[in-house]
Structures are given as C-alpha cells and as structure tokens.
Amino acid sequence: MFETENPGAAPHIWQVGALCRAVADTLAARFNPVGVRGEITGFSRAASGHCYFTLKDAGGQIRCAMFRRAAGALNFAPRDGELVEVSGRLGVYEARGDLQLIVEDMRRAGQGALFEEFLRLKARLEAEGLFDAARKRELPLMPRAIGIVTSPGAAALHDVVTALRRRVPHIPVVLVPALVQGVQAPPSLCEALSKMYRLTEAGRGLAGNSALEDAPPVDVILLVRGGGSIEDLWAFNDERVARMVVQSPVPLISGVGHETDFTIADFCADLRAPTPTAAAELVAQPREVWLGALDLLARRLADGVQRQIDNRLQRLDMAAQRLGRPSGLAARQQLQLARLAQRMRHGALLKLQRLTHEGQRLEASLPEKLSQSLARRRESLERLSLRLELLNPQLVLQRGYAVLTDASGRAVTDPAQVRPGDALLATLAHGQVDVTVDQRRLL
C-alpha cells in the first residue's frame, strides 16, 4: 500500500509498466539480496539453458528463474521434491506482472518431504523384490491389441494415439479411462488397471462384457501421463498403484512425465519409457518395417518354391529321358534279346565244332595209344614176373639148400632154437626128410 502526501486527493494514475517497475524497485530496496528455503516443484530447463521452477513450503510458493550463467555453475542437477536454499534478487516479471525470484545461487538443504517419502517407499518395495529385473518381460513384437490407461482428456492420450495411428493403424487400441492427478487418482488407476487386466487373454473369462468377446485380447498395456510437478505425478508413487502394476498378466510400459521424471510405477513396470510418445513407439514397430519384412519373406518363399519346382522338373526330364516311349523301350529290349540269341547260337555252334574236332582227334589217335599202353603194361608185367621168380624159394632148394621147421611148423634159423633130441622136418627141392637133432653148434 502506497501512502500519498494528501490522503484525500485523487490517487495517482500509473502506467502499468511504471507501476510494475515501482513495485520492483520497492521490493529490491526492501528485501534484496534475499535468501529463501523451500522445496523445488515444476523444475524445467529451457533450450536457452535458463531454468524455471517454483519454491514452496506449507505456507506458500514463489516463482523462480535461474539464468544460464548461474545454472551452469551448479554442482548438482536440481529435481522436483528436493529441499534447497537459494539466494538472489526479488523482483517483478513486468511482462506478466508476476512476482519472481531471480536465483543466483542454489545449494541442497536436505530432501523435501514428498521426495523423502518417495525414497522410503522405493527402498521398501525394492527390498520386497517388486523391481527385480528377473520378473521383467519382453515386449510382444506384434501385439494383437494395445491397452491404454490414462485420462481421456490428457495430452498424453493424444500423443500416444497419434503415434499408434501413424505407425500401426491396423492394431486395435483399447482405452480404459482413469484419473491421473489428485487424491482420487490412485484408486481410479487401480480400478482401471484391474479392468484392463480382464481384457487380456488370461482374464477374458472374467471380463463379463460380451461386446469384447470377439475383440482380440490385449497383449501389452501403456500406463501414461504427461509431465508435471512431483505433486502432479504423485498418484504414480502410490503403493496401491505400484502393487497393481506388478500384477499385470501382460507386459506393462510406464510412460509418465518427461525424461527426467521417475515414479515408483516406472520401477514396477516391465519397461519405463521417457515419454508417453516413446511408450507408444516401443510397442509400435512401423507398419512399413513389417511390410518390408513380409515382402522379403514372400520373395524368399517364392524363390525357394521356384527352385524346388525347377529341381523337380529337371529330375522329371532326366527320368523321362531314361524311360522314353514304351514302344521304343520294347523295341530296344527285343533287339537286345535277338543279339543275345544270336550270341547263344554262335557259341553253341563253336562248342559243337570243338567237340567234333576233339572226338575226331581222339578217334584217330586211340589205336596207337592203346598199343603203346599195352606194350608198356606187358613190359612192366614181365619185370614183375622176373622179380617174383627170383624170389621163389624153390630155386634156392634146387641148389641143395633145405628149410628146417620144428614140430609147430616154425622155421628154424638159429641153433639156439633147438636142443639135442628135438624132431625137425627138412624140406628139400623134391620132398621132405624127418631129422633128429643130435648135436648143435653155436657160432
């Protein structure tokens, strides 16, 4: 409130810009330099390098701007929910007439209340295994239907649907609306996710909606929301939502906020996308890619079929060439049979001629061979007769020798075989004589 020298006089008429400058000068003279302690919310960094955010506590909030020179000197990356202490100049942004703090220095002053709560819940759920990489699932290459859980009026829905229509217009999209901000957002998100789960293949029997019986089941779910402050995104840091996310029967992608925003739902989901549009692109391989792949497969299939056909035709030609016409085959077989019969007759004739010649030759040489054989046999017989005659004992007896035998007829060849008085028989050339041993002389 500005005092005038004359309270009863009419108020001074200010130009808007002049009034803003006067207020700014008064604030600068009254407060600057100023130090403020508060929690960051709505932090953003422009392409120019300037940073814009709001500092708040339980009693109020103030807009802040930190220009590129000061932001470049920071030794940490500010983020929503952090408790910081800043120093700077209090002034008025004349273009809008807004009170703002130009921050020249910033340092951490501890964690903000919401951020500390976020860290506590994150540590507890991580210890329970809700963030384990082993339970994360691969995204389907070609989902039969894509489910979306978000607010129907959110810009995120428009971005996701636009990306899906551009990349995969042939894939059905199912939207289950939910609140994404405020006190009622967590139960609304849990209810929407529960409905979406009943539209998957695992939950179709529980859908209770005959209108969806013929629709393809949802194979992947997108849980999306646009950017905002930590308070705006707090529904996605709710424990109830986190536990509902991990119950998804199909892969679930969390695309909440911007690239620098992280929520508990991001850690529980099968995959985190930096933005809602990126979430849509992760499950929407462009149709041109699949059409190109199908075209390549079709060409490979056609080439393979043609090669098989050519191979079979070539084998058929070779078989036909070997087989030929049946009449030709019969003619060739008859010719072969005639050649074999001719060879057989010729061979039999030659054999007969050789036998005839051999018979004639044997017939001519038989008398000569028989006479020669008889002469040889007669000569051999004469030699054997001569040898036998020489062995005849009668010839020896005719020369005055005798053969003595004892009473048993055994030949006596040694005086030791007999004793004096033994009766012996002497066989001579012309008869036998009985003799008695009178005396024996041993040599």
Q: In what order do the strands lie in the sheet with 431-436?
A: 403-405, 423-428, 431-436
Which residue in this structure is represented by tokens 């699949």?
290
Contact 160, 279 (CB under 8 A): yes
Task: Return the pLDDT at 366.
Answer: 64
Contact 233, 257 (CB under 8 A): yes
- Alpha-carbon distance of 259 to 266, in angstroms, equals 12
Write phi, then psi, for 280 (nearest 5 degrees). -65, -40
The residues, ordered by sequence, that sit 6+ positions from 138 with a Cβ below 8 Å of its Cβ are: 251
Task: Report the chain (443 residues): mean pLDDT per 10 consecutive residues.
Answer: 53 72 70 84 90 89 90 86 86 76 85 78 92 91 92 90 90 93 93 94 63 76 87 90 94 88 91 92 79 80 84 79 64 78 82 79 71 82 78 72 82 81 81 82 69
Task: Return the pLDDT at 7.
Answer: 56
Task: Return the pLDDT at 114.
Answer: 77
User: What is the distance between the terminal CA atoms of the chain, rounded to a whole angstrom?
Assistant: 190
Give which of 131, 105, 40, 46 is closest to 78, Cα–Cα.
40
With 0-12 / 13-18 / 19 or more C-beta atoms within 10 angstroms meaning exposed / middle / buried, residue 278 is: middle
DSSP-derived secondary structure for 353-387: HHHHHHHHHHHHHHHHHHHHHHHHHHHHHHHHHHH
Beta bridge partners of 107: 85
Task: Return the pLDDT at 241.
Answer: 95
Is the preceding peptide bond at 393 cis, omega within 30 degrees of 0?
no
Strands 423-428 and 431-436: antiparallel
Give which of 219, 235, 223, 197 is closest to 275, Cα–Cα.
223
Task: Return the pLDDT at 12.
Answer: 74
Q: Residue 115's Cα: distance from chain center in Å?
A: 44
- Alpha-carbon distance of 296 to 304, in angstroms, equals 12
Write phi, then psi, for 173 (nearest 5 degrees). -120, 130
- Alpha-carbon distance of 191 to 184, in angstroms, equals 11
